[in-house]
């Protein structure tokens, strides 16, 4: 085919890469390009068309996703033989894929990396820069020249370090030392100090079988694998069970570090609608019924969902477990915030408790109730699922440190732990209440609405129609508040999307939360007066298909 004949409309709504992909696909359908023919090198076609190499890369990726062309490493991209099912990706339920979404909606707002020089510049392949790093770049960019003390940081997603139970840790470490000393006296216990099972310390795993039932997990020690935090648990799951091109489901707004992990493995991350009560299971079932959607797994944070703070109802948890069985889905239940639930009673039992056939992999972090630098978590799974994960754990680090395991055991088995959890839960609850009152007073009149967190550290605020979240982030800095734009927390929008912000209420004292809400309101007011328009009264928080 004659590539100079590709006609691009720079002002069109259809993105350039899509226009390129469409015209190449047409050439294939008309026989101008034959199976086995090679497409031009990316830089060459970019030069021919006067577009960036990224645009051509996206066009080729789109063709690959549609089964029209395929890349051979180091050789180029070739036209593939015709496929039976070719309209899969134009089905309306399928959202925009996250790779192009990130390229278009996130990358342009992060400051471009400085080009590396010398031989290290050629140290490929790196994979995409993680969203979390891009978000940090964005923050650096928008706060440049702004003294830190003039800003209230509403955006970190982190706990308050002044609430860590550090007063106990001298004693805890000493106690862990005593436990090591005791084991070292018994020859039979010496294996604990060797290269051993990648499952992790027997003593801690044994204790966890008595700790985890409070969340609805009736388990034995054979269900448990210790990890270096939930981050590693997620990475192990992705590394073990996902391959490039696989499809997975997550809540419409999800945990940024989880998105980063999944996207590193080249999987398609698709959003599932959610509301105040968690994942909308009917919408999920429609998505599962769409023939082109064959997700391998669904990742969810049912309690203290990140970033909305919402809690999934017991009925939906039960239904989710059923759907997993019906649709042959692996369900990843991430539960860092169960101990930080702010309502009267406890959260509903874990989804794990409703799954009879071992389709749920449950992840527990202890970062939220100790401190993040502890780096200890665990994976709970059926033994036959765990066997796959242990093999990978053995490969990546041969097991989590005995020293950390014994320290955590000393702490979470002590009365000090339960007291401390209760204390921090009270503090975080109070901050949540202050935050909601301040938002009602300051931001409801401007047409904002928000999720109502029952757990966790954050909530998701939806801006009035007409306001762009990136403008708001910039204007808020002018008024002394740093907020995080919602686009970093969603794999891809499903439709004409709302603009949102993630607000962290956990790590600021009440007076700062109130002041931050005032400053944000001032920023919105300024932008609205400049030409935006509000849609009062506020709706309740829902994401739509």
Is the Cβ of residue 375 or residue 431 nearer to a second copy in the bound state?
375
Is the Cβ of residue 80 or residue 436 nearer to a second copy in the bound state?
80
CB 229 → a second copy: shortest distance, Å? 6
- The contacts of residue 467 (CB under 8 Å, 6+ apart) are 499, 524, 527, 528, 532
Q: CA 519 to CA 210: how far, in whole Å?
A: 47
Is the Cβ of residue 205 or residue 518 nearer to a second copy in the bound state?
205
Q: CA 285 to CA 138: how far, in whole Å?
A: 36
Is the Cβ of residue 138 or residue 524 nearer to a second copy in the bound state?
138
* Phi, psi at 312, each rounded to 5°: -75, 140
Is the Cβ of residue 88 or residue 528 nearer to a second copy in the bound state?
88
Query: What DSSP state is assigned to residue 156?
Result: -
CB 377 → a second copy: shortest distance, Å? 9
Tokens of 31: 């026989």
Task: Give one DSSP letter per residue of 68-104, joined into a string.
Answer: SEEEETTTEEEEPPP-S---GGGSTTSPPPHHHHIII
Asked if residue 412 lies in contact with residue 175, where contact means CB atoms within 8 angstroms, the answer is: no
Tokens of 244: 């490039």
CB 318 → a second copy: shortest distance, Å? 19
H-type helices in 281-382, by residue range? 281-289, 314-326
Q: How buried is 496 (Cβ within 10 angstroms: 0-12 exposed, 13-18 middle, 19+ buried)?
A: exposed
CB atoms within 10 A of CB 441: 13
CB 227 → a second copy: shortest distance, Å? 8
Is the Cβ of residue 92 or residue 125 nearer to a second copy in the bound state?
125
CB 186 → a second copy: shortest distance, Å? 11
CB 17 → a second copy: shortest distance, Å? 22
Is the Cβ of residue 328 or residue 540 nearer to a second copy in the bound state?
328
Asked if residue 359 lies in contact with residue 324, where contact means CB atoms within 8 angstroms, the answer is: yes
CB 327 → a second copy: shortest distance, Å? 11
Asked if residue 7 lies in contact with residue 17, where contact means CB atoms within 8 angstroms, the answer is: no
CB 388 → a second copy: shortest distance, Å? 6
- The contacts of residue 301 (CB under 8 Å, 6+ apart) are 251, 254, 255, 333, 334, 335, 336, 337
Beta strand 484-485 pairing with 500-504: antiparallel
Is the Cβ of residue 133 or residue 221 nearer to a second copy in the bound state?
133
Query: What DSSP state is assigned to residue 444?
Result: G
Helix (H) / strand (E) element for 460: namely strand 458-462
CB 241 → a second copy: shortest distance, Å? 6
Query: What DSSP state is assigned to residue 487?
Result: G
Is the Cβ of residue 152 or residue 172 nearer to a second copy in the bound state?
172
């Amino acid at each position: 085919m004659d590539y100079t004949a590709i006609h691009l409309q720079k002002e069109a709504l259809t993105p350039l890469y899509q226009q390129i992909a469409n015209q190449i696909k047409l050439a294939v359908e008309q026989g101008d390009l034959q199976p086995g023919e090679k497409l031009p090198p990316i830089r060459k076609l970019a030069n021919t068309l006067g577009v960036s190499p990224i645009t051509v890369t996206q066009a080729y990726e789109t063709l690959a996703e549609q089964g029209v062309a395929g890349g051979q490493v180091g050789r180029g991209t070739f036209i593939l033989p015709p496929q039976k099912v070719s309209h899969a990706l134009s089905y309306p339920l399928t959202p925009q894929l996250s790779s192009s979404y990130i390229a278009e909606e996130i990358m342009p707002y992060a400051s471009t990396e400085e080009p590396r020089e010398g031989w290290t510049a050629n140290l490929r392949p790196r994979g995409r820069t993680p969203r979390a790093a891009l978000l940090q770049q964005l923050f650096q960019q928008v706060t440049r020249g702004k003294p830190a003390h003039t800003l209230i940081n509403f955006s970190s997603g982190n706990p308050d370090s002044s609430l860590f139970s550090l007063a106990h840790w001298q004693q805890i470490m000493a106690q862990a030392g005593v436990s090591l000393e005791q084991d070292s006296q018994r020859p039979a216990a010496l294996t604990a100090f060797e290269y051993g099972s990648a499952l992790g310390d027997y003593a801690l795993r044994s204790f966890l079988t008595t700790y985890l039932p409070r969340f609805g997990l009736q388990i034995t020690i054979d269900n448990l694998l210790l990890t270096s935090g939930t981050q590693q648990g997620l990475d192990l799951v992705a590394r073990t069970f996902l391959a490039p091109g696989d499809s997975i489901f997550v809540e419409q707004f999800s945990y940024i570090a989880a998105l980063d992990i999944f996207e590193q493995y080249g999987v398609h991350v698709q959003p599932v609608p959610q509301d105040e009560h968690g994942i909308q299971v009917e919408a999920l079932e429609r998505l599962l019924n769409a023939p082109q959607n064959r997700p391998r797994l669904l990742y969810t944070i049912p309690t203290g969902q990140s970033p909305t703070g919402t809690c999934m109802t017991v009925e939906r948890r039960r239904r989710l477990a059923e759907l997993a069985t019906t649709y042959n889905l692996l369900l990843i239940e991430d539960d860092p915030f169960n101990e930080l639930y702010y309502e009267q009673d406890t959260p509903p039992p874990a989804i794990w408790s409703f799954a009879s056939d071992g389709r749920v992999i449950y992840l527990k972090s202890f970062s939220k109730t100790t401190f993040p630098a502890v780096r200890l978590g665990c994976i709970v799974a059926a033994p036959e699922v765990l066997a796959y994960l242990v093999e990978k754990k053995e490969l990546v680090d041969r097991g989590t440190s005995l020293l950390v395991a014994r320290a955590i055991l000393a702490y979470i088995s002590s009365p000090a732990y339960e007291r401390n959890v209760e204390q921090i839960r009270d503090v975080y609850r109070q901050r949540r209440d202050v935050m909601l009152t301040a938002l009602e007073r300051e931001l409801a009149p401007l047409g904002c609405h928000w999720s109502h967190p029952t757990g966790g550290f954050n909530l998701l605020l939806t801006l009035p129609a007409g306001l762009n979240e990136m403008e708001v982030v910039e204007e808020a800095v002018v008024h002394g508040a740093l907020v995080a734009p919602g686009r970093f927390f969603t794999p891809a929008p499903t439709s004409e999307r709302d603009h949102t912000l993630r607000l962290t209420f956990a790590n600021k004292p009440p007076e700062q939360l109130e002041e931050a809400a005032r400053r944000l309101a001032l920023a919105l007011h300024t932008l609205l007066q400049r030409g935006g328009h509000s849609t009062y009264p506020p709706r309740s928080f829902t994401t739509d298909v």
